[in-house]
Amino acid sequence: MPDGIVFIDNEFVSPEHAKMSIFDVGFVWGDTAYDVTSTWKNWFFMLEEHLDRFQRSCDRFQLKSPYSRDEIRQICAECVQRSGFDDSYVKLQMSRGVMSSRTVDPRLSDSAFVAYAIPYVWIWGEEKCRNGANLYLSSFERVSSRAVDQRIKNYNRADLVQARFQALDEGCDDSILCGPDGYLTEGSGYNLLVVKNGRVASPDYNVLEGVTRGALSELCKLENIPFELRKIHPDELAEADEVFASTTAGGVMPVTRISNQPVANGEPGPVTRRLQASYWGKREQGWRGTRVDEILATPMQSTGTH
Amino acid sequence: MPDGIVFIDNEFVSPEHAKMSIFDVGFVWGDTAYDVTSTWKNWFFMLEEHLDRFQRSCDRFQLKSPYSRDEIRQICAECVQRSGFDDSYVKLQMSRGVMSSRTVDPRLSDSAFVAYAIPYVWIWGEEKCRNGANLYLSSFERVSSRAVDQRIKNYNRADLVQARFQALDEGCDDSILCGPDGYLTEGSGYNLLVVKNGRVASPDYNVLEGVTRGALSELCKLENIPFELRKIHPDELAEADEVFASTTAGGVMPVTRISNQPVANGEPGPVTRRLQASYWGKREQGWRGTRVDEILATPMQSTGTH
């Protein structure tokens, strides 16, 4: 259990007191949308993009928020402030809630909103996120967007968990999954990017539209590095000059081995390093940032609906 | 919230006190296996088959139980006895548990076991379960077993929930989903069965191996009705003599309309009615049954591991 502050049932509590009903169908039916943003040196990064995506995820799952967007922004900021962490991992979560025992109609449920701030998370530990991980090309298929739209950030992640088990059993750090069409999708919480001849490419379908990946497309533009979303066959990994991953929980992360084989010379490549330095440098300067204290000082624009 | 009794954190509590950590990765990663059995007139039905399947689901998700099989059986019986319900819905659930904040390695987690007994659940209400429902042939695809093995009863059910939304919006009671190969799979918690020329058939792949469906294959044998598992194309529904569904939460349930069109003459058919009468008649007589009080009177065979 991490340190931090959780907003749940309209109050701020410590993580050990953050409990939900076992009857919340957000759990029982996997009927929960979420998002993760972060602060670095007290700057939220691309907060509005995260709030936009969270709203889209909720809309696609037909989850109605009991809080307005302004209220959610304030709750996130207050979680960070109360936690005392300058560098934090901030989750927003909307579950379907506890339903009446007399119906299975999800339209009749009141959604439950939870947010929390905990210390910044490095998905594979800071060292591997900064200097290179070994990802296993999984035999588990990523759930198809025809079944669950993977643009919706959601808790139906059993494919990712099983792929992670497999990766760890094979001596790797985590996994990469292909979709039902046999093309690369993503990993257990991160987008995948491939560099060949100075061009950056990332899978265009059946993946989360990563906010960090979106930031990278902007950084590529600033640095005059060609960036494209397209189908990527797993065979391209063996011929890639560089491979890296992107996520809120680690930023720009070199992938130096795939299924225990080195990518190129097995070291983080120059494009990855350039984008990584640019990403962290700009974050520290507040690029695309919103200060926690500024949010808290801003009067709310709307009164919300709860 | 239903009435009943929940066993959680090693004690029996009322449903409103049955709370879990929001950090349980059984929730956050959809990393939970479960099963549902039931009692009717104080007889558990095919309890060992449900315990077998629960064990297989846990094994396939690599979830280790803190309780032995004998302990789980006793806990289920005690939940029913404490609830006071003769006809009950009994759930068993194993979630990955709360992990250390320092790792994302699911192998390092201690699973959390929960069980509860609540009043018997009729998935569509008793009237529709007994006399016919209208199921919508969904445009959402069932999650592929190549991504999440659908023999594992698990909470990654967003496809089923979205299909249910769609069905309700179309004026139907619930849904039927096809798999990635375009063939029928199952609905939101029930197997599907089709009758043509006196033969009963049910999809053979990408579905839960329903215990009620297994009972039906035995009842078909007793009644000399041919029963087979095979690929079933959705076009067969329009030509079927009868369609029905099977689940612990409703038994043998006629499907009299599909996507608002009548199946045959729109009435429950003779094979469905015969199997339904046989199912409930045998359950009342304790066929394949175990008495709740007998379990409670049996000394435990093993001491368990917790």
Is ipTM strictly over 0.85? yes
Which stretches of chain B score pLDDT less than 70?
301-306
B113: nearest CA partner in chain A = A22
- The pLDDT, as a whole number, for residue A306 is 42
For residue B150, list chain A residues with Cβ-Cβ distance below 8 A.
none
- The pLDDT, as a whole number, for residue B305 is 43
Could you name the CATH architecture of B5-121+288-297? 2-Layer Sandwich (3.30)
Could you name the CATH architecture of A5-120+288-297? 2-Layer Sandwich (3.30)
Quote the pTM value: 0.95
B34: nearest CA partner in chain A = A28
Which stretches of chain A score pLDDT less than 50?
303-306
Q: Do A32 and B27 touch (CB under 8 A)?
A: yes
Domain ranges of chain B: 5-121+288-297, 126-268
Interface test with chain A among B148, B154, B164, B175, by most A beta carbons within 10 Å: B148
Q: What is the nearest CA distance from A198 to chain B, expressed in angstroms?
A: 32
For residue A32, list chain B residues with Cβ-Cβ distance below 8 A.
27
Q: What is the nearest CA distance from A69 to chain B, expressed in angstroms?
A: 22
- The pLDDT, as a whole number, for residue A301 is 59
Superfamily of domain A126-268: D-amino Acid Aminotransferase, subunit A, domain 2 (3.20.10.10)
For residue B154, list chain A residues with Cβ-Cβ distance below 8 A.
158
Rounded CA separation A256/A234 (Å): 15
- The pLDDT, as a whole number, for residue A109 is 87
- The pLDDT, as a whole number, for residue B303 is 45
